[in-house]
């Protein structure tokens, strides 16, 4: 949380400066008038024992701009798997900073000592190095490399620079690295976050992309926000054949990335070039390959997919109790209640305010909500209050866990006043943090932790000391005004590097409002290098702490993220505004994080500040009910905006969240898919329709899984929405008899009165749903219904779907532990016969839970709808059971009409089929 004015002044100046600087797409510091270097030449190359290539590069001509060139580089290339290629370039003589291998486990390249003296034996004359999917090639002088797709020879990455190009050849200095790639102008790029992208999910040429974790609110467009994800996905379409690949530059230093449409240039202030290429060729393959390297997304507990309510400003426990009671009265589902820092004693982590949140009363409240299955989560900020009587601080000092500056714990200011920052790169800190989490859990049995301000955020800049003779903070006025005695630090090259990245969108000093970049972590690691890893390292430590606590599946929400954060934490998009623009931006940011391997993501519903209008809040819950992570959260200074505050919003919430709670089995199954294959929960449409170019830039609709499409209203005053329907048949989830079919894709204007959100299910799908409820614990025990969709009027068709169920308290999410069940559902229609069946793995859990399928609806069938010979597992159902059969004719809203054929929906109710057993149902259409 940050108060809006903290960045208001940044906002305007940022915008003006951005317009000026980026009209040409270059940083003002370099102006890029002259090329910075002449590149390197390859002087030797050979094969490594592990099947890689290693070579030495010598600088061609030294230049002084941004410091001296590193004279000798080593490059290393290896096809690490069938679909992953790594290319690393570093100093040949001296170890440089890399993302620590213990934080992000991966293969180690050969040691420098092994390679430097060895270039005599096996020199290679060939310039191509082939793997299963990629062809790697290089040019010797000036050195450049290219990566091609083996199947069609297409160049995916090409680092060469001609005289006519506006970018340099390879540049490698201690604090300035530059490399570029050429791109075809019709490539669609996605990723390079975290930033708020006003143009939607597709990267937009000449927009600035700066990566450096920063606490400026998400209302700042095109600026470096809370996370750093130096990865992009590139989607191309050649003659109707689509292929996607991704490029990760694994580097945690600050960087600017200049995307021009036909080229992309990285300018980085440290570290190494460590590229990973992922061959795809589908967007889902890409995310699978990417997360197999960086870590699969964390399994989330079932309740995490319920609705969450939070506010900064629940001043005492009775307010929280009222909120829970009012949700119940309004009949709006609620699973989790949150406290921002109101529960703390003087904003100090791991404490309770004895007056406003007295422990005995809080424990009674938690007993009450826990008994019905509700959960409670609180915030923790990394800054530990400097206070001699505060146990957490005393133990931190005793264990020497804090980041240092000139040998002393670095002093900063956040909500409690003067703070020190724990150094999560230090194993001792991880143990101390785990112990503090355990102590706090004994005080308050929270169900998850929310780690905020971990970019890290600091209300001051530079070297500070606690002022003598005045109270800091004063206790009056805003808590985010710096009241320490501080002076700027510019004396080292780490605090004032030669190249200025576009930090905060205004080329702010890189130590501005964060930890001084010359501060030191464990083992002499500089904050300069490790800055963007802070939130990631805290997520790992917090995950370890929670997992060790009760042996339950942890839930962590982190504001700052890096490559690999999804393995440990969920994310929300930070401080947004209650505006229509921010509602629209939330979709792009959510979809980006799915690509980044952080699928559990959402934005503050209705906006963090200022107060949204009633109409906006109606429309926002209709989008937010379908975020993977769905939470209403507001600012201390905004009026109350819980969903029951307006009767109209309450009605929209009952409708939208009512549908979400019926879809919980689908969301939870997507959570399992994300955990085993990285597949995003919320996806851009191009994931399912990669050859349909019309949806490449679509940022106003999204899919949950492969087949469920949300088409929300995102504009003020609108009661209809123009939605894109890719080719095929789509069925409205609110009325399955309404269908839209087209051969080539179509835009359709849908009715969308205030309380309605349009959700459609695509053909060839089987969607398991339940009956909903006020809390996920109850909803998940209700009977199932299956919706089976065929292409409208098709005489032959297939459909499939799946369902994962487990005991969500268990830390692991997998099959074979005796506490989970996985079901594949199949259906086909052929020559007038319909068959629906299931294949169950590990059925015991579902059988023990007593879960049953109560109804099945099949849509898109050709014929009159009369059924004959209805059987289940070979036994007739007609006339001998409670099964009720009804048929309804489809209404074709738009698109082609299916000739003279009538298409119908067949619904069967009263089935009572156990989920945990295989079944097969058949009938003939009349």
Q: Tell me the catalytic residues.
A: 452, 455, 575
Task: Identify the CA nearest to 668 among candidates 857, 565, 820.
Answer: 820
For β-strands 570-572 and 601-602, DSSP reports them as: parallel
The sheet carrying 72-81 orders its strands as: 40-47, 53-59, 72-81, 84-91, 273-278, 241-249, 229-238, 188-193
CB 333 within 8 Å of CB 774 = yes
Contacts of 139 by beta carbon, 8 Å cutoff, 6+ apart: 127, 145, 160
Contacts of 9 by beta carbon, 8 Å cutoff, 6+ apart: none
Which DSSP string corresponds to 534-551? HHHHHHHHHHHHHHHHHS
Residue 493, φ and ψ in degrees, nearest 5: -70, -15
The half-sphere exposure of 860 on its side-chain side, counting CA atoms within 13 A, is: 30
CB 377 within 8 Å of CB 447 = yes
CB 767 within 8 Å of CB 761 = yes
**Sign of the CA dihedral with 658 first, then 659, 660, and 661 last:** positive
Rounded to whole angstroms, the Cα distance separating 45 from 53 reads 7
Residue entry with tokens 């866990």? 401
Q: What's the 3-state SS for 426-440?
A: CHHHHHHHHHHHHHH
Contacts of 600 by beta carbon, 8 Å cutoff, 6+ apart: 297, 298, 300, 304, 566, 570, 571, 628, 629, 671, 674, 681
CB 404 within 8 Å of CB 411 = no
Q: Where are the beta strands (DSSP E) in 466-516?
A: 485-487
Tokens for 226, please give them: 């809370």
Q: Which helix (H) or strand (E) holds 15?
A: helix 5-22
- List, in sequence order, every residue forming a beta bridge with 806; answer none if it has no partner: 820
Tokens for 394, please give them: 């005393």
Distance of CA 486 to the CA centre of its chain: 36
Task: Identify the CA nearest to 332 among candidates 606, 647, 607, 640.
Answer: 647
């Amino acid at each position: 949380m940050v108060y809006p004015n903290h960045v208001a002044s940044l906002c305007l100046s940022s915008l003006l400066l951005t317009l000026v600087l980026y009209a040409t797409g270059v940083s003002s510091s370099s102006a890029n008038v002259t090329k910075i270097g002449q590149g390197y030449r390859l002087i030797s190359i050979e094969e490594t024992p592990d099947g890689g290539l290693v070579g030495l590069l010598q600088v061609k001509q030294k230049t002084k701009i941004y410091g001296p060139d590193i004279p000798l580089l080593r490059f290393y290339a290896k096809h690490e798997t069938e679909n992953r290629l790594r290319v690393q370039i570093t100093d040949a003589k001296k170890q440089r900073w890399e993302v620590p291998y213990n934080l992000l486990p991966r293969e180690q390249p050969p040691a420098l000592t092994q390679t430097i003296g060895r270039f005599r034996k096996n020199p290679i004359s060939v310039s191509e190095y082939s793997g299963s999917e990629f062809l790697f090639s290089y040019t010797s002088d000036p050195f450049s490399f290219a990566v091609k797709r083996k199947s069609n020879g297409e160049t995916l990455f090409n680092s060469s620079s001609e005289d006519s190009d506006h970018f340099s050849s390879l540049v490698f200095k201690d604090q300035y690295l530059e490399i570029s790639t050429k791109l075809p102008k019709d490539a669609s790029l996605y990723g390079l976050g975290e930033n708020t992208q006003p143009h939607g999910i597709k990267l937009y040429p000449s927009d600035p992309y700066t990566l450096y974790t920063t606490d400026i609110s998400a209302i700042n467009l095109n600026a470096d926000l809370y996370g750093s994800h130096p990865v992009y996905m590139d989607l191309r379409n050649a003659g109707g054949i689509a292929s996607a690949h991704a490029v990760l530059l694994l580097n945690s230093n600050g960087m600017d990335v200049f995307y021009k449409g036909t080229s992309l240039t990285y300018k980085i202030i440290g570290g190494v070039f460590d590229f990973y290429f992922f061959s795809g060729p589908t967007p889902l393959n890409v995310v699978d390959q990417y997360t197999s390297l960086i870590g699969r997304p964390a399994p989330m507990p079932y309740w995490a997919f319920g609705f969450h309510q939070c506010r900064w400003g629940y001043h005492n426990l009775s307010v929280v109790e009222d909120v829970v009671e009012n949700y119940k009265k309004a009949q709006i589902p609620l699973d989790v209640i949150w406290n921002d820092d109101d529960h703390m004693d003087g904003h100090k982590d791991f404490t309770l305010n004895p007056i406003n949140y007295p422990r005995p009363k809080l424990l009674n409240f938690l007993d009450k909500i826990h008994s019905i299955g509700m959960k409670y989560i609180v915030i923790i900020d990394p800054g530990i209050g400097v206070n001699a009587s505060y146990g957490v601080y005393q133990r931190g000092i005793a264990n020497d866990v804090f980041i240092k500056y000139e040998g002393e714990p670095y002093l900063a200011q956040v909500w409690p006043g003067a703070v020190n920052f724990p150094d999560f790169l230090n194993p001792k800190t991880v143990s101390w943090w785990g112990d503090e989490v355990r102590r706090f859990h004994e005080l308050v049995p929270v169900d998850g932790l929310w780690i905020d301000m971990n970019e890290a955020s600091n209300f001051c800049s530079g070297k500070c000391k606690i002022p003598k003779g005045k109270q800091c903070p004063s206790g009056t006025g805003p808590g985010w005004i710096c009241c320490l005695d501080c002076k700027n630090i510019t004396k080292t090259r780490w605090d004032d590097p030669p190249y200025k990245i576009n930090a905060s969108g205004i080329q702010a000093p890189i130590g501005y409002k964060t930890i001084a970049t010359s501060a030191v972590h464990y083992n002499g690691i500089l904050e300069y290098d490790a800055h963007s890893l802070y939130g990631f390292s805290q997520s790992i430590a917090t995950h370890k702490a929670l997992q060790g606590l009760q042996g339950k599946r942890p839930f962590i929400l982190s504001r700052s993220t890096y490559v690999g954060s999804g393995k440990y934490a969920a994310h929300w998009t930070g401080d947004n505004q209650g505006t229509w623009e921010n509602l629209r931006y939330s979709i792009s940011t959510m979809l980006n994080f799915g690509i980044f391997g952080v699928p559990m993501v959402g934005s503050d519903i209705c906006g963090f500040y200022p107060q949204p209008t009633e109409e906006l809040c109606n429309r926002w819950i209709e989008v937010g009910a379908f975020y993977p992570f769905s939470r209403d959260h507001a600012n201390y200074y905004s009026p109350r905006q819980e969903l029951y505050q307006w009767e109209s919003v309450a009605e929209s919430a009952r409708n939208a969240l009512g549908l979400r709670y019926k879809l919980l089995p689908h969301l939870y199954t997507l959570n399992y898919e994300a955990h085993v294959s990285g597949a995003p929960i919320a996806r851009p449409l191009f994931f399912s329709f990669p050859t349909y170019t019309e949806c490449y830039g679509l940022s106003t609709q999204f899919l949950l899984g492969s087949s469920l499409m949300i088409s929300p209203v995102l504009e003020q005053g609108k009661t209809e929405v123009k939605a894109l329907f890719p080719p095929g048949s789509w069925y409205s989830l609110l009325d399955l008899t309404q269908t839209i079919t087209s051969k080539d894709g179509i835009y359709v204007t849908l009715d969308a009165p205030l309380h309605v959100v349009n959700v459609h299910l695509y053909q060839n799908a089987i969607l398991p749903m339940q009956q909903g409820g006020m809390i996920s614990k109850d909803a998940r025990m209700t009977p199932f219904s299956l919706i089976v969709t065929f292409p409208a009027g098709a005489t032959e068709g297939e459909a499939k779907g799946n369902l994962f169920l487990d005991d969500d308290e268990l830390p692991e999410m997998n099959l074979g532990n005796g506490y989970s069940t996985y079901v594949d559902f199949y259906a086909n229609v052929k020559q007038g016969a319909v068959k629906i069946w299931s294949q169950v793995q590990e059925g015991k859990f579902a059988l023990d839970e007593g879960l049953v399928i109560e109804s099945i609806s099949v849509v898109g069938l050709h014929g009159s709808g009369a059924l004959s010979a209805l059987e289940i597992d070979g036994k007739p159902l007609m006339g001998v059971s409670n099964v009720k059969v009804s048929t309804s004719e489809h209404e074709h809203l738009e698109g082609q009409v299916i000739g003279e054929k009538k298409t119908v929906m067949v619904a069967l109710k009263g089935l009572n089929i156990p989920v945990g057993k295989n079944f097969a149902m058949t009938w003939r259409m009349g």
